[in-house]
Chain A
Amino acid sequence: MSGIEKGYDWVDDRLTSSNFIKRNARKVFPDHWSFMLGEVALYSFIVLLLTGVYLTFFFKASQNEVIYNGSYIPLKGVKMTEAYASSLNISFDVRGGLLIRQIHHWAALFFVASISVHLLRVFFTGAFRKPREINWIIGNVLLTLAIVEGFAGYSLPDDLLSGTGLRITSGIILAVPVVGTWVSYLIFGGQFPGVDFIPRLYSVHILLIPGLILALITAHLMMVWYQKHTQFPGEGRTNNNVVGYPFMPVYMAKAGGFFFVVFGLTALMGALVQINPIWAFGPYTPDQVTAGSQPDWYMGWLDGALRLMPNVELHIFGHPLSLNIIIPAMVVAGIIFTLMALYPWIERWITGDTRVHNLLERPRDNPTRTAIGVMSLTFYVMLWIGGGNDIIALNFHLSINAITWFLRISILIFPGIAFVITKRFCLSLQRRDRDKLLHGVETGRILRLPNGQFEEVHQPISSAEAAKILAREDVQPLPIPAKTDANGVRTKHYRMKALQARMSHAWASDAIPVPTAAEIEAGQEHAAHQVHDAGERYGIEPGKPNTDFTESVH
């Protein structure tokens, strides 16, 4: 017995690990490039943990005043907080410190970005449907935590830019009706900026939120593992199987390798592309600001909402009610996150679909959902553009007032237009899919028939492609309920059921029917004839694929 085997047995005798390993070592995972997005998020988080621990060794989370005496000459002798001074020390006086700081910041940007794109993938492919609603909710919470964690992180160095972000945060908290001032006094330990906030934010940033994220990521992954990953439709792929490569060795190597790719690329960004040069901003002071102050990308939409909101402030019983802050910072953000979290149940109520779904849908397979997604994304992106209105005005020599007014109006119109266009686009793709199945694809070969007629040769699509198209289901709208039953008794919850049926009609009634088996057979027979004819004419053996044909097919 080798040493490794002995060691294996030692663990096995105590933990029955063989039981788990025999079932899981060769667990199959499906393959698709988009399944990598969540992985990027996971690996970015690991990079954040590794670099973050390193930073904690050098960073001093304190707002005590010190006179800077480090090696960055322009700030020598300047009064600043210990937090800012230690951030400068990390950047200039610790070997590799700047690199780790930059990797940490880049990884944070990638973390939120990959979570966001992963969420879009899950949404547009319907991966959130039963049985994966719990993981959808966990994912939503993770996104929220990641945004808060990122904001907390870039607020810690106490440079002029980050302090400005905190000033805005304090202004938003003050706008909360009734308790705002009180909450602000608690958080900041009195008036803004005080000397307590950065140490408190530090505890939140390095302990509380990372702990929550770590716990939720663990639950997220365990559930993916237990429920088995969704897969895209294709040959041999059904709702009851999972087709792909085994975890060991293929995914161990691919996923493990991919961690190093993410780490490597993030480190290269830290080496080559400067991020958040805090020394250029100077220490925070509440009476100074730099023009063109921009938050990290994931806060841009919230900042944009603040910028676009008209200046409405009401007074109730003499107290100010700052709708110009409450609506963009609390109401809009609250609605967005609530609707997003509840979406699986909203869709399920409208479609009445309570089945288990392990096969993903392509975005075109569910035009209304895709349209809702693009509509929401349009709204988000327009807020985000609003967050950069000063940068746009400066670079394109436009009036900032004109940009703001354009966005104020179009943010109410463009999402609707995006919905309609997206839905039509999806339906067109469905029509095209149907055409391809029934009539094959154009080969580019024109036949001249004996009677002088010209005809283009069509070739049936491959069975792999046909399987993808045929995976779509014909969705039947829910029946409109009768107001009363046969005995004249009023149907229970009639209004609700009628609304549900109407929504379900709007959802599904214009879908293009998936071709029936008979239709396909008839269509392909015709196409096959053509290919046969063409084959004879060009001297191609029937049944043997012509390379020209296959090339023009793809």
Chain B
Amino acid sequence: MNYDENEDKRAVDRLFGGTSEPAATPDPISHDGPAPAPGVVHIPRRTDIDPVAAKRAERQVSMFFGFAMLAFIGFVVAFFAIPKDKIVFVPVIGNTNASNLTLGLGLGLGALLIGMGAIHWAKKLMSDVELSQERHDLAPDAATRAEAIEAISEGGAESGLFQRKMLRRSLIGAMALFPLPLILPLLDLGPRPDGQMKHTLWAKDMPIVVDVTYQKIRPEDIPVGGLVDAVPAILPTVEETTHNLNERAKSAIILVRMKPSEIRAQQGPNWDYEGILAYSKICTHVGCPTSLYEQRTHHLLCPCHQSTFDLADAGRVVFGPAARRMPQLAITVDSEGYLVARGDFTQPVGPSFWERT
């Protein structure tokens, strides 16, 4: 092997700008070394021929780096000096957090200035002579390929993998079963579907309460055209023990009141109470809470994908991707005159799922 010590030295010089022993001539054009690109005329830049311009460019680059230092120092000062909850007014942006603004400007401008300096340096002071390098055929020559294949087949033959059928088959079998112990424990990520998705907290005589305040509702609390978000009275108690929102995700309802004459159809006979209708709030498409109710048309719109349900017409889908009508909850009043459910929903609420049947 020919070891060219000089070439190594030159590589080091190129790397670190060493001055020990400059090569007398530029690197000879080896098969790997870059050569000036043919057919491209190089027009020297101002900085290539005018030392004053080159010095000016150097000053500009250093100025960028210098300002970057100032920006980072500004960041440090802002970090300690500006309280984290101070709000300032900035034109165009409006009121904004002073700490966020100054820290961001310090970091952002500093980084940007480093980048601009480096690029300016490259564009003004580093050589812009285009070089050309040969590409090598990525496909190796036939001899190399044959050698490689020979090596593989030799190795394969020595292993006996191709000749020993029983060995091969048993190995494949073992490898095929190997993922099982890795995947199987994942089955304990969650319980098997238990039919809970078909039931909600609603039951016979379950009081209907306003969401958030959990106050019982009298029919006269809801004016015609009004809408109330409601949940079953037991929900807060349940959530205190389960510490999750699973039941809320199914049992949220909306109450709307319209003139009884405006109700064209319901999902069951007299499921309303004096024009007050209770519908599930959970969209039958992919489960967003529907929340936009248009009083005049009695349309309920889901803000996620715009499925629209006509609450005066048994929750029928009038537009959008939802395929099923909104489930209705039969309601009445109890002996004290508060609104209560007459039972659970007669069909699962929310999006379709395979076991829904």
Residues of A within 8 A of B (CB): 2, 4-5, 8, 18, 21-23, 25-28, 63-65, 71, 92-96, 98-99, 102-103, 131, 164, 167-168, 170-172, 174-182, 184-196, 200, 227-228, 235-237, 239-246, 248-250, 253-254, 256-272, 274, 284-293, 303, 306-313, 318-320, 322, 324-325, 328, 356, 358, 389-390, 400-401, 404, 463, 467
Please tell me if B222 contacts chain A, counting CB pairs below 8 Å.
no
Please tell me if B252 contacts chain A, counting CB pairs below 8 Å.
yes
Give chain B residues whose Cβ lies under 8 Å from the Cβ of A21.
11, 15
Q: If the complex has contacts A167-B286, A177-B354, A254-B118, are A28 and B34 also in contact, measured as CB distance less than 8 A?
A: yes
B138's contact among A171, A187, A328, A356, by CB below 8 Å, is which? A356
Among listed B48-56, B190-198, B327-335, interface-contacting one: B190-198
Interface range on chain B (Cβ under 8 Å from partner): 35 or more
> Once the chains bind, are B287 and A170 in contact (CB under 8 Å)?
yes
Give chain A residues whose Cβ lies under 8 Å from the Cβ of B15.
8, 21, 25, 248
> Once the chains bind, are B306 and A168 in contact (CB under 8 Å)?
no
Q: Count A/B pairs, Cβ under 8 Å.
A: 346
B114's contact among A174, A196, A260, A271, by CB below 8 Å, is which? A260
Please tell me if B285 contacts chain A, counting CB pairs below 8 Å.
yes
- Provide 22 A-B residue pairs closer than 8 Å at the C-beta atoms, listed in order of the A residue: A8-B15, A28-B133, A167-B287, A172-B286, A175-B352, A186-B190, A188-B190, A191-B246, A193-B245, A236-B130, A243-B130, A256-B118, A257-B118, A263-B115, A265-B108, A267-B107, A271-B103, A271-B104, A286-B252, A288-B289, A289-B291, A325-B352
* Interface membership of chain B positions 236-255, coded 1 if the CB is closer than 8 angstroms to chain A and 0 otherwise: 00000001111011101000
> Once the chains bind, are A261 and B115 in contact (CB under 8 Å)?
yes
Give chain A residues whose Cβ lies under 8 Å from the Cβ of B138.
131, 227, 356
* Interface membership of chain B positions 102-139, coded 1 if the CB is closer than 8 angstroms to chain A and 0 otherwise: 11110111111111111101110011101111110110
* B240 CB, nearest partner CB in chain A, Å: 10
> Once the chains bind, are B33 and A96 in contact (CB under 8 Å)?
no
Q: A236-B130, A258-B119, A307-B306 are in contact. List 8 more A-B contacts (CB 8 A).
A: A28-B34, A71-B85, A185-B191, A235-B40, A267-B104, A291-B292, A293-B303, A318-B357
Cα–Cα distance between A438 and B73 once the two chains are bound (Å): 61
Cα–Cα distance between A318 and B248 once the two chains are bound (Å): 28
> Once the chains bind, are A324 and B285 in contact (CB under 8 Å)?
yes
* B33 CB, nearest partner CB in chain A, Å: 7
A271's contact among B33, B100, B116, B189, by CB below 8 Å, is which? B100
> Once the chains bind, are B320 and A25 in contact (CB under 8 Å)?
no
> Once the chains bind, are A260 and B111 in contact (CB under 8 Å)?
yes
Query: Which residue from chain B places its CB closest to the CB of A310 in the assembled complex?
Result: B321
> Once the chains bind, are A190 and B100 in contact (CB under 8 Å)?
no
Q: Which of B248, B304, B305, B322 counts the most A-chain CB atoms under 10 A from its CB?
A: B305
Give chain B residues whose Cβ lies under 8 Å from the Cβ of A269.
108
> Once the chains bind, are B34 and A246 in contact (CB under 8 Å)?
yes
Give chain A residues whose Cβ lies under 8 Å from the Cβ of B109.
264, 268
> Once the chains bind, are B135 and A358 in contact (CB under 8 Å)?
yes
> Once the chains bind, are A319 and B119 in contact (CB under 8 Å)?
no
> Once the chains bind, are B126 and A253 in contact (CB under 8 Å)?
yes
Please tell me if B66 contacts chain A, counting CB pairs below 8 Å.
no
Q: If the complex has contacts A18-B8, A28-B34, A271-B103, are A164 and B40 also in contact, measured as CB distance less than 8 A?
A: no
* Interface membership of chain B positions 186-224, coded 1 if the CB is closer than 8 angstroms to chain A and 0 otherwise: 110111110011000000000000010000000000000
Give chain B residues whose Cβ lies under 8 Å from the Cβ of A264.
107-115
* Interface membership of chain B positions 303-333, coded 1 if the CB is closer than 8 angstroms to chain A and 0 otherwise: 1111100000000010111111000000000
> Once the chains bind, are A194 and B354 in contact (CB under 8 Å)?
no
Give chain A residues whose Cβ lies under 8 Å from the Cβ of B40.
235-236, 243
Cα–Cα distance between A287 and B350 once the two chains are bound (Å): 11
* Interface membership of chain B positions 245-279, coded 1 if the CB is closer than 8 angstroms to chain A and 0 otherwise: 11011101000000000000000000000000000
> Once the chains bind, are B112 and A181 in contact (CB under 8 Å)?
no
> Once the chains bind, are B104 and A313 in contact (CB under 8 Å)?
no
Please tell me if B47 contacts chain A, counting CB pairs below 8 Å.
no
Give chain A residues whose Cβ lies under 8 Å from the Cβ of B134.
240-241
Q: If the complex has contacts A5-B12, A291-B291, are A171 and B107 also in contact, measured as CB distance less than 8 A?
A: no
> Once the chains bind, are A293 and B304 in contact (CB under 8 Å)?
yes
> Once the chains bind, are A25 and B353 in contact (CB under 8 Å)?
no
> Once the chains bind, are A320 and B245 in contact (CB under 8 Å)?
no
Please tell me if B228 contacts chain A, counting CB pairs below 8 Å.
no
Give chain A residues whose Cβ lies under 8 Å from the Cβ of B126.
245, 249-250, 253
* A249 CB, nearest partner CB in chain B, Å: 5
